Amino acid sequence: MKMIKKVSLTFLSPSKEPNFNLYAKKFTVLKYINLYVLPSWNNVLAVAYLLQATPYVTRLRLEMQAYSGEQHHLENVQVSWPEGISLQKLRLILVGGFAAQPPVIELLVCLVGAAPGLKFLTINPRYHQLKRMGIWVREKDVAKAARDHAWNVAREAIGLKLPPSVRFALR
């Protein structure tokens, strides 16, 4: 565990009862995290707790699972984010499959506030599939209306909260 610098994890089902004891230990060597996530509130909370346990992460890639027709998150939920998240080294956040899901928006707002050294935030509504460690392949294009909606929500909900030093890209 002391030598692992990069990890890819999958959160494909909405967790019913999250158990965050796994993240009680700090992973100080971990620099790159790739996550393939079903955007439920419990899953994004698990991501937040994972990031709290990895204070030296420099790059985070979040890929949202393709929309399956079933909504895995509730609207207007009050979430208690973990206290003490400090991501001083986080420089790059890449988000794929963004469809303006409320849990993902709130997670990104939380991360932007915890990462004062953030340099780049890229949001892409296209879905990608992890083929093997570190290799992502675009699966499909998103309809223009869905893409425009995702971009507008990203600009309003996240882009306005970014400091001017962060380069914000919508792809």
**pLDDT digits 0-9 by tens, 52-111:** 888 899 999 998 875 544 454 555 566 777 888 889 999 999 998 888 888 888 889 889
- Does the model's pTM come out above 0.75? yes
Q: Where are the domains of the chain?
A: 6-14+26-68+103-170
The residue behind tokens 């003490």 is: 84
Give counts: helices (H), strands (E), the chain.
Answer: 3, 8
- What per-residue confidence (pLDDT) applies to 24? 58
Alpha-carbon separation of residue 6 from 31, 97, 149, 153, 163 (angstroms): 6, 21, 33, 30, 27
Per-residue model confidence as pLDDT tens digits over 121-147: 999 888 766 666 556 666 666 678 877
